[in-house]
Amino acid sequence: MSGRDWELVGAPNARDLGGLVGADGRRVRRGVLIRTPALGRLADEDLPVLAKLGPACVVDLRDHSEIAVAPPDRLPGEPTVVHLPVHDAEHPVFTYVSAVLLGHDLGAYAALAEEGTPAAMAAIYRWFVTGESARESFGAAVRLAAQARNLPLVYHCSAGKDRTGWLTVLLLGALGVDEAAIRADYLANNRLTESLREVILEAMRRRQPGLDVAAVRPVLEVRPEYLDAAYAEVRRVHGSFGAYLRDGLGVTDDVVAALRAHLLE
């Protein structure tokens, strides 16, 4: 499994992807590929941990509208910060998730419940594969990871589970990590964020008596069917994961080779 030899109090689902087995049995190097949620809620004690990891580049997958209402990322040192928004105005669910995570009083819980159903979440994952801005940003992020000067690379969205989760699928898939290990890392989010999720749900209950928690929970979790929807869309549109990387994202064989050269032991 990926490394958990450090933790960030303010980002419980942050983790190092090092240690996963990739192409030719070579493991992903430790300390070079770090997935996190937004870093504006890091505790003071988290900063030395992040400083020790020493990110050279931080990729932020949030839209400007999400960044504007969130506390700024707490970043030690002077990493290059690259904004590659993955945002679809037709699917405002991420805006709602951001507001919930930040403790904003939405008054839009009905919309959240509507936008955050399992079916709506699966639709968003299909859009990850086909949406123009999604393809542009995900492709650019993978190409950044293939350049040694950008390592260690930290990447995040708001919650660090959906857009961050799919970028992780792309990176690990390109590195030759098998699908079962990729899926296990994706689903680890639920275990790592369980206590935080229950705190959020309890706060929502208090603020909104009568709230249907079951209708909100799908948007605060990751689920196998979300990932399945994206993989099915890859097969439907491109036939194979390799073709999707190449034709959908512009991740050429040379980029894949560079990723493996820099990120695998």
The single residue of 145, 157, 174, 220 carrying the catalytic annotation is 157
Q: Phi-psi category of 34—alpha, beta or left, where left has phi over 0 and alpha has psi -120 to 50?
A: beta
**Sign of the torsion angle spanned by Cα atoms 124, 125, 126, 128:** positive
Nearest to 140 by CA among 252, 257, 251, 35: 251
Domains of the chain: 15-263 (3.90.190.10)
For the ranges 75-84, 216-225, 248-257, which has the lowest average pLDDT? 216-225
Nearest to 142 by CA among 126, 166, 117, 159: 166
pLDDT at 111: 63
Nearest to 178 by CA among 21, 18, 26: 21
Mean pLDDT of the chain: 91
pLDDT at 2: 46
pLDDT at 106: 53
pLDDT for 103 beyond 90: no
How crowded is residue 33: how many other Cβ atoms within 10 Å of its Cβ?
Answer: 26
How crowded is residue 154: how many other Cβ atoms within 10 Å of its Cβ?
Answer: 24
CA–CA dist 254, 186 (Å, integer): 26
Cis peptide before 209 (omega within 30 of 0): no
Assigned token pair, 225: 């069917």
The whole-number average pLDDT for the span 240-252 is 98
CA–CA dist 32, 37 (Å, integer): 17
Rg (the chain; Cα; Å): 18
Residue 57 belongs to what H/E stretch? strand 57-60
pLDDT at 108: 56
- How sure is the predictor about 204, in pLDDT bands with cuts at 50, 70 and 90? confident
53, 154 contact by CB (below 8 A): yes
pLDDT at 107: 56
| % of residues, the chain, pLDDT over 70 | 90
Per-residue pLDDT reduced to its tens digit, 216-236: 788 889 999 999 999 999 999
Strands 153-156, 80-83: pairing is: unpaired
17, 265 contact by CB (below 8 A): no
CA–CA dist 264, 196 (Å, integer): 33
* 250, HSE (Cβ side, Cα atoms, 13 Å): 11
57 is catalytic: no
pLDDT at 164: 98
CA–CA dist 214, 205 (Å, integer): 11
88, 124 contact by CB (below 8 A): yes
